[in-house]
Structure 1
Amino acid sequence: MSTATLDSRPEAPSAPQRRPGWWHLPASLAVLSLLALLVFGVGAPRGSRTAFRIAEDGDLNPGGILPHDVILPTGPTAIVCAMLALLIAAVLGATAATARPLPGRLRPGLTIAFALLWVTAFLAWAFHGSTVALGAMLQTMMVLAVPLAFGALSGVLSERAGVINIAIEGQLLFGAFGAVLLGSMTGSAWIGLLAAPVMALVIGAALALFAVGYQVQQIIVGVVLNVFAIGLTSFFFGTVMKQNPGTFNAPLRLPTIRIPVLADLPIIGRVLFEQTVLVYLMWIIVVLLTIALFRTRWGLRVRAVGEHPRAADTVGIDVNRTRWSNVLLGSAVAGLGGATLTIGTGVAFGEEMSAGKGYIALAAMILGRYHPVGALAAALLFAFADALQLRLGTLPAGTGAGIPSQFLLMLPYIVTLFAVAGVVGRVRVPAADGIPYVKQ
């Protein structure tokens, strides 16, 4: 047989290659499942029950189709949820080990199903002997999620254009400060709503000036601006607002806009359809920003600047101007999140009232893979952890799992750390993020 004949033989198809670190997610989910099985299921008090409140008085529930409370045995409920979660971990592990990708969106769907099962097992254990008011907990989650979501969207706008936005904390704080100050002076919460993004632009303009204009190290600039925002607002709070709170620090609140019928739906009605204008703005901005970034010429230009600014420059895109405009737009969006902390909830301004929410919003942006929808989902996750610790802290004596209050206070930050640690190595950051551009 000739050499040419041998060379012409078709090559055998190569076996699918497993991705590096393929076992990380399945192993983590398996450990969490076993934890739920042993602690939440086997470790649950014998004979205990947990009530899940589905419908409230006044909900749209014709004929009482939905029961007000669904009472389940704590241990068996947690065991069933843990076993189903372990099955999902096994499926994800088997497909990753054989390098056979799951079809379509089945993998993220299974991951979401795992999260719901694990949370259900935890709720059954943590609230045994008590009632889990699902609607009230989700309502609290939504209130807590809005500033995180606006902050994360601010980060998406800036970092998609190549500017690291550590200054979200300062933007939220300036937005909260401006909303109360101008709202109190004019006696109108609506004026405060307009003032919040304008005040946040001060931090955004400073960030763009130093990071884009003078090409200073962007992380350092962001941290310095956060400290500046804390110092300046604390100074005015101590010298102006405290002296005359009725004029400069009145607790104003935006009116609640209720959508008839939809607001009466069980569980989700008040969460989605009985909110202030800031919540509705959040949904609108997420939709518009998703379309703008991935379906318009403007979005293509922004992403090009964040990925390969020199190539964008060669086709006529003004790189630094694009970065300036995105940083300013992102700052205005973060200012709306700051307004949620004050006029969105009806409280007066307080020193350092952002309380690290800007950094959690930054983590939500990373966990959401620099996508508006992902950032919103991550913000909801972190807010749910915060709402959970608030609810657990109000349980009557003798009910619940008796989790120490110190751990409850740490819970939102623990969830943030674990969530970001699980994905930060696999998230693709915009290639030019944090790299100053010098036109040649």
Structure 2
Amino acid sequence: MDLSSISPVLLVASIMVSATPILLAAIGELVVEKSGVLNLGVEGMMITGAVVGFVAAINSGSLMLGFAMAALAGAVLSLSFGVLTQIFLSNQVATGLGLTLVGLGLSSLIGKPYEGMKAASLPKLDIPLLGDLPILGRMLFSHDFMVYFSLFLVLAVWAFLKYTRAGLILRAVGESHDSAHALGYKVVRVRLVAIMFGGACAGLGGAYLSLVRVPQWTEGMTAGAGWIALAIVVFASWRAGRVLIGAYLFGGITVLQLNLQAAGLTWGVQYLSMSPYLITIIVLVFISSNRSRASHDAPATLGKTFHATR
């Protein structure tokens, strides 16, 4: 095994690209769960965004339109979840699982004629001066637009939740929907907006997979990324900054195991391939073992049904 073949600069750059789709989906799910809603349909929204974004980009020749359509598809699909759980009061866990199954089936149907096709990837942004730095330039400042957009989104969500009145209302709805309703806030409306935002972010994450990271359409290409995004929100204790750390941790593990295989490591390749998912499970078990902390960090009404007439 020749570890000298692994370039630290390329490794860090690859981690940023690998983490972007998971980061987009996870930061959207964070906002959803902060409103008190548990949406387990992230995987379905991601795969739907991947196929819709790819189809739109192929047919229009515009990657930006592809990303826009992917966000719209994710938002519309999540709205169906919101209507069922917030208006018709269906079970959030069962409805979220159903949303994932619908997304997987719908993506297979839509994407069948487009298998094997390739889309033009996003160009890299060479940031003036910063992009010319000897090591950091190639490592941090020579990525595509969506990598920086995901980082900006984390910062925006953090500032929104911490410093804005709308963010305070969202958190209040997640902590006590009955109290928020008594104060005159539209709980269902707030949650529907949060759900659609989360769906749009998941759609963007899926589109990044099919338009940038691969870039082509392959059935089931999300490969559990939506479930990882859900786990990262718990790992992050529902904090935006920690979501960034969790996404980059998972992206780092994924890229590292691929680089080790390329460097000639032949023993235990199957263990390396499953290591990102295994480490995610270990992290969740570790957090869940401290029940008092987990219950303290989670929004108090997470997953609970709200009915205005109660």
TM-score calculated relative to the size of structure 1: 0.66
1:211 CA drift (Å):
1.4
Q: CA deviation at 1:217?
A: 1.0
Does 1:189 find its partner at 2:58? no
Structure 1 residue matching 2:119: 3-state secondary structure:
coil
Q: Which amino acid aligns with 1:431?
A: A
Aligned equivalents of 2:88, 2:67: Cα separation in 1: 32
Are 2:305 and 1:436 aligned? yes
Q: Which residue is 1:347 aligned to? A: 215
Secondary structure at 2:218 match in 1: coil
Q: Is residue 209 of structure 1 aligned with residue 86 of structure 2?
A: no
1:160/1:302 contact within 8 Å kept: yes
Match of 2:7 in 1: 133
- Spell out, residue by residue over 1:55-96, the C-alpha distance to the aligned partner (whole angstroms, 9 max, x if none): xxxxxxxxxxxxxxxxxxxxxxxxxxxxxxxxxxxxxxxxxx
Indicate conservation of the 8 Å contact 2:5/2:263, yes or no. Answer: no
**Quick one: distance in 2 between partners of 1:436 and 1:271?**
46
2:280 partner amino acid: T
Structure 1 residue identity aligned to 2:29? G
Mapped pair 1:218 → 2:92: yes
Alpha-carbon distance between aligned partners in 2 of 1:267 and 1:408, rounded to the nearest angstrom:
28
Q: Distance in 2 between matches of 1:174 and 1:416?
A: 24
Once the 2 structures are TM-superposed, how far is the Cα of residue 407 of structure 1 from its aligned partner? Answer: 0.8
Relative distance call for 1:376 and 1:322 in structure 2 (3 A) is: same
Which protein shows a greater Rg? 1
Amino acid at match of 2:107: T
Alignment of structure 1 residues 279-428 onto 2, 5 Å? 279-345=147-213, 347-396=215-264, 403-424=267-288, 425=290, 426-427=293-294, 428=297
Name the aligned partner's letter for residue 184 of structure 2. G
Unaligned runs of 5+ in 2: none
Change (3 A) 1:358 1:129: closer
Q: How far apart in 2 are the matches of 1:163 and 1:309? A: 11
Distance 2:252 2:3 in 1: 21
- Check the 8 A contact 2:55/2:111 in 1, yes or no: no
Q: What fraction of aligned residue pairs are identical, expressed as a percent?
A: 30
Residues 374-399 of structure 1: per-residue CA shift (max 9 Å, x gap): 11110000111101110011113xxx
Task: Map Cα deviations across residues 199-253 of structure 1 (whole Å, 9 max, x no partner).
Answer: 1112211110111111111111111111111111112222x325xx6xxx54221
Question: How many Å separate the matches in 1 of 2:3 and 2:162?
Answer: 48
Relative contact order: is structure 1 or structure 2 higher (C-alpha 8 Å, sep ≥ 6)? 2
Whole-Å separation in 2 of the counterparts to 1:380 and 1:221:
29
SS of aligned partner of 1:257: coil
Give the direction of change, closer, same or farther, for the CA distance of 1:363–1:268 in structure 2 (3 Å limit). farther
The alpha-carbon deviation at position 333 of structure 1 amounts to 1.4
CA distance in 1: counterparts of 2:59 and 2:3, whole angstroms: 49
- Structure 1 residue 143: deviation in Å? 1.1
User: What displacement does 1:131 show?
Assistant: 4.4
How far 1:141 moved relative to its partner? 1.0
For residues 169 and 176 of structure 2, the distance between their equivalents in structure 1, rounded to whole angstroms, comes to 10
> How far did 1:269 drift?
2.6
Cα deviation digits, residues 299-325 of structure 1 (max 9, x gap): 110000000011111111110110001
Q: Distance in 1 between matches of 2:216 and 2:277?
A: 25
Of 166-175 and 300-309, deviating more is 166-175
Structure 1 residue 129 displacement after superposition: 5.8
Instruction: Say which of 28, 34, 44 aligns to 1:154.
Output: 28
Alignment counterpart, residue 114 of structure 2, candidates 237, 241, 251: 241
Question: Structure 1 residue 195: deviation in Å?
Answer: 1.1
Give ranges in structure 1 of 5+ residues lacking alignment: 1-126
Mapped contact 1:278–1:336 kept (Cα < 8 A) = no
RMSD: 1.7
1:166 aligned partner? 40
Task: Check conservation: 2:63, 2:122, Cα contact below 8 A.
Answer: yes
Change (3 A) 1:129 1:395: closer
Q: For the residues of structure 2 that align with 1:130 and 1:328, how far apart are their CA atoms?
A: 46
Partner of 1:254: 122
Aligned-pair CA distance for 1:134 = 1.1
* SS of residue matched to 1:146: helix
Structure with bigger helix share is 2
Give the whole-Å Cα distance in 2 for the aligned partners of 1:272 and 1:129: 22
Match for 2:31: what amino acid?
Answer: L
Residue of 171, 176, 200 corresponding to 2:50:
176
Please show how residues 24-39 of structure 1 align to structure 2 within 5 Å: none
